[in-house]
Amino acid sequence: MRILMMVAPEEHYMVASVHKALDHKREARPLLGILSVTTYLKNRRPDIVIKFIDCRAEELSFEDVSSKVKEFQPDLVGLTCLTFNYYDTLRVARLVKSIRPETKVCIGGWHVTLYPKETLSQNAVDFVVIGEGEKTFLELVNALSAHKIPNDVHGLAYKSDGELFVNTEQLKEGVIGTANFTGMVTPIIPISKEVDTVSSFVTINDSRPLDKKLDEIDFPDFNLVNIGKYSHILDSDFNITIPIESSRGCPFACTFCDIRRTRFRYRSPELIVDELERWSKAGINSFFFVDDNITVNKQRAIILFDEIYKRNLNIEFKVSSRVDRLDDEVMESMKRAGVSRVSVGIESSKQKYLDYMQKEITVEQIEDCLARANKTQLPVFAFMMIGLPGQTKEEMFDELKFLKRNKVDYASFSIMTVYPKTELHKICLDNGDIEIDPWQAFAENPVPEIQAPYVNGNYSPEQLKNIQLELTRKFYFSPRILYKRVCEVNSLKAFVSRAKLALRFLGIDSIKRKII
């Protein structure tokens, strides 16, 4: 059996919470989800020929995909999909089928987890993996290579003889809190031009509990990708940064977030540090923890950071947390271990907006946390939110003063965006802020360009994006921040990249492109 795992080329870029000039190519990280699924499979089925291509990082086009498929002749293609690359992912699926109709196509990732039925309604898709994919994909491959119908593979949705089956392994386990499956056999109505004309049915099997610990899941094998192709615009020396996952899930309730109220599970600290040590011995000393909230369990986090410190690895790494999970003890252990940046969702300096988002924190807690981070000399990246319901331009600009007053080192200003099937999405549909659900329409009938819905009410999407750009420029071009960033530049490569970023922020590179 020959399996091709792929990240689709990025041709259509959906504008969500970040202006294109700020977001596009700002951050190229190896995608842990599909890498993790591939590694898990590779380690258990060495008999299978597996190829991995990240078209985004390799800057491959759809024509390149065609050649690769013709050359490799895969029996199964695995694709990863967020809502933002659904359109391009489906294009790859259709391309594969047009070249080799007998090849099976399986898609996993957040978007299809939220919309399995709609995704399977597309002709070119044979299987959808719902939620975490390592075990489900292995079982699917085992079934296919044994020529069996994968009807006992939990977490899998598929078409078979014109029928559509959904095995909802993880739906009831809180991986996606918005699941509304009932356990009954439910006919679904054809929904788009792409839909199969045969009648389709959904079958739901019993759910299977998620593993409490993540230790059974192998760390992704980065030898599958060309690691030199990835970088982050804010990485100080533009050395290779490896993403690493120490936990999954977050019990908090922020309404805009998909991870809201999902069960927190983690890897053993020793195994995580073994992995860091392995990479540091190979010459890599920069890491980015993708955990939604690494300090959900403070004791576990301290054990992890202390273990890193004890092993004297001489590494630096970035983490994400919440202001209410960062007490002095946690911050000191972070600092000792080598945390170079801690990202926190501050979102707003106004209590009414924090409450609206159900952040469950107060402005006082934020200020206290920032003061202590300063004392510990722990650089903070503040995730700020603008475009909140009814928020005025003045209020948005007030956030700059707040960040300056609290000596914040890095910040981004996302426009509040209603992401699919989040609590915010539900609220907006219930109270009529959104009359026709754009995400449902997109899931059923994806179009190349779509503007994700905003909630502000005072300003148009264009105006909000301009405010966002202005805020970002004002923040990063303030003398205080400029000085800090210049001090960080320690190589020519870093200087050139920073200069390019600065030009992009100022809109100068787009003017140059227009002239050319």
Residue closer to ligand B12 by CB (options 413, 459) is 413
Residue 129 in tokens: 């993996």
Question: Under the criterion CB under 6 A, does residue 345 sit at the interface with ligand SF4?
Answer: yes
Residue closer to ligand SF4 by CB (options 65, 346) is 346
| Residue 181: exposure state from Cβ atoms within 10 A (0-12, 13-18, ≥19) | middle
Q: Among all chains, which residue has been given the structure tokens 């301290």?
A: 302
Among positive and negative, which fits the CA dihedral 224, 227, 229, 231?
A: positive
Among 159, 267, 322, 498, binds ligand SF4 (CB under 6 A): 322
Q: Among all chains, which residue has been given the structure tokens 């303030």?
A: 478
In whole angstroms, the minimum distance from the beta carbon of 325 to ligand SF4 comes to 9
Residue closer to ligand B12 by CB (options 245, 336) is 245
Question: Under the criterion CB under 6 A, does residue 245 sit at the interface with ligand SF4?
Answer: no
In whole angstroms, the minimum distance from the beta carbon of 115 to ligand B12 comes to 9
Window 445-474: contact mask with ligand SF4 (x via CB under 6 A) = ------------------------------
Residue closer to ligand SF4 by CB (options 54, 292) is 292
The whole-angstrom distance between residue 377's C-alpha and the CA centroid of its chain comes to: 28
Question: Under the criterion CB under 6 A, does residue 275 sit at the interface with ligand SF4?
Answer: no
Question: Under the criterion CB under 6 A, does residue 257 sit at the interface with ligand SF4?
Answer: yes
Binder of residue 254, out of ligand SF4, ligand B12, none (CB less than 5 to 8 A by kind): ligand SF4
Report the alpha-carbon distance of residue 461 to residue 16 in Å, rounded: 10
Residue 168 in tokens: 């909802």
Among 52, 127, 252, 279, binds ligand SF4 (CB under 6 A): 252
> Which residues are within 8 A (CB) of 237 and not within 5 positions of it... i.e. 6 or more apart?
490, 491, 494
Report the alpha-carbon distance of residue 272 to residue 247 in Å, rounded: 10
In whole angstroms, the minimum distance from the beta carbon of 293 to ligand SF4 comes to 5
Which of 122, 126, 127 is closest to 196 using CA atoms?
Answer: 122
Contact 69, 79 (CB under 8 A): no
Binder of residue 132, out of ligand B12, ligand SF4, none (CB less than 5 to 8 A by kind): ligand B12
- What one-character-per-residue DSSP string does 343-411 give? EEEEE-SSHHHHHHTT----HHHHHHHHHHHHHHT--EEEEEEE--TT--HHHHHHHHHHHHHTT-SEE
User: What H or E segment, with its residue span, contains residue 481?
Assistant: helix 479-488
Question: Under the criterion CB under 6 A, does residue 425 sit at the interface with ligand SF4?
Answer: no
Residues forming beta bridges with residue 51, ordered by sequence position: 4
Question: Under the criterion CB under 6 A, does residue 418 sit at the interface with ligand SF4?
Answer: no
The whole-angstrom distance between residue 303's C-alpha and the CA centroid of its chain comes to: 26
Contact 37, 137 (CB under 8 A): yes
The residue range among 254-262, 393-401, 413-421, 441-449 that interacts with ligand SF4, by the rule CB under 6 A, is 254-262
In whole angstroms, the minimum distance from the beta carbon of 110 to ligand B12 comes to 4
In whole angstroms, the minimum distance from the beta carbon of 236 to ligand B12 comes to 17
Report the alpha-carbon distance of residue 76 to residue 38 in Å, rounded: 12
Give residues in contact with ligand B12 (CB under 6 A). 16-18, 23, 27, 29, 31-34, 36-37, 78-80, 82-85, 106, 108-111, 129, 132-134, 137, 245, 257-259, 290, 292, 414, 419-420
In whole angstroms, the minimum distance from the beta carbon of 419 to ligand SF4 comes to 11
Report the alpha-carbon distance of residue 380 to residue 373 in Å, rounded: 7
Binder of residue 31, out of ligand B12, ligand SF4, none (CB less than 5 to 8 A by kind): ligand B12
The residue range among 8-16, 53-61, 177-185, 246-254 that interacts with ligand SF4, by the rule CB under 6 A, is 246-254
Question: Under the criterion CB under 6 A, does residue 280 sit at the interface with ligand SF4?
Answer: no
Question: Under the criterion CB under 6 A, does residue 319 sit at the interface with ligand SF4?
Answer: no
Query: Where do contacts with ligand SF4 occur on this chain (CB under 6 A)?
Result: 250, 252, 254, 257, 259-260, 292-293, 322, 345
